[in-house]
Structure 1
């Protein structure tokens, strides 16, 4: 069966595979899901999977790349609004709470993947570290622009607040966790901003 008969085009088959893998990996975990299930639910052949991805690891890396693009897009959308620096930080915080409050929220895709791939040399773990380094640098830059000092400490504090909210948000009341996180962001902006 060709990729065309499976969905109209090669890119549609790839998108379907990645969409299916993303949904299942995020909801159920990476190691618990085999390629046979992804193939069946995406309604493609094994040959189609291997035409687009070298194997499961390649599919996992594509899943994380898609998650990374989504988060970068959210941050850039907030930045593009041209808000004052502190309001940009608040806006990024709100995108985090929107995720926590969304249906099917299961925590941070990257922290979940790191737990399943603890070997720091593994390509999946490396993808997690690369995303988290970008997020830390971005948070630090935004907080520096908002006048927080020292900015590197403020950036680490923001990331830790976010990580805690992501973990708690799938265990407890997402609305309460979201409110608590946003209060933490306000406290961070208030206590770390240098006096004028």
Structure 2
């Protein structure tokens, strides 16, 4: 697994001056990339567009990220960290593991209903980078492994006889709900996802 270095880089494009960096420029660039990469696709958004919509200079962009590839890794890693943070907040609300599952399902269904929803950012990124050895795909794989491990642990804690298999079923159903919710009928996709989760959790013994 490639270790993703999230610290700033001093790399610059050749011939660029070291102009003063506007406050918050690094964050602004990443927020712009997050919005554009998700809504329009990673490969379709060029550096000039990112620079323009972030309201930074080219020198500032390269000071912080060095290349578009570095920014892409920051984007997809940031999405993963946001999911972890969201999970931790939901877990803090849940009194028992049984309470956590409905909270996770509700959160996924809420994502599908949001304006501008464009499917799963990790599946979208994987479709744009077909080489499984690419660093983007490594982050996607890390995220999916983390998701499966979390759900496996929840199912184990509620007494599911085959928590690993149950987690696989739920993750694949979630993939289908996110993809179908964007490309097809969000209502039927969400309903199918809820049915799968209900079936899997009905096997729990605790």
For 1:118-133, what aligned pairs fall within 5 Å after superposition? 118-133=130-145
How far the C-alpha of 1:173 sits from its partner, in A, is 3.3
1:100, 1:147 → 2: CA distance? 29
User: Which whole-Å deviations, capped at 9, do the CAs of 1:74-95 have from their partners, x for residues lacking one?
Assistant: 2111111132212211211111
2:94, 2:124 → 1: CA distance? 33
The structure 1 residue matched to 2:163, chosen from 133, 147, 151, is 151
Residues 1:71 and 2:91 are matched in the alignment: no
The structure 2 residue matched to 1:3, chosen from 21, 46, 62, is 21
The structure 2 residue matched to 1:193, chosen from 189, 193, 204, is 204
Q: Is the 8 A contact 2:152 2:163 kept in 1?
A: yes
Aligned length: 188
Unaligned runs of 5+ in 2: 1-18
TM-score normalised by the chain length of structure 1: 0.91
Q: Is the 8 A contact 1:74 1:92 kept in 2?
A: no
Question: Where does residue 179 of structure 2 map in the other structure?
Answer: 167
1:49, 1:119 → 2: CA distance? 27
* DSSP-derived class of the 2:183 partner: coil
How far the C-alpha of 1:181 sits from its partner, in A, is 1.6
* DSSP-derived class of the 2:130 partner: coil
Question: Where does residue 41 of structure 2 map in the other structure?
Answer: 29
Unaligned runs of 5+ in 1: none
Residues 1:92 and 2:104 are matched in the alignment: yes
- The structure richer in helix per residue is 1
**What RMSD, in angstroms, separates the aligned Cα atoms of the two structures?**
1.4
Question: Where does residue 81 of structure 1 map in the other structure?
Answer: 93
1:165, 1:82 → 2: CA distance? 23
2:190, 2:99 → 1: CA distance? 17
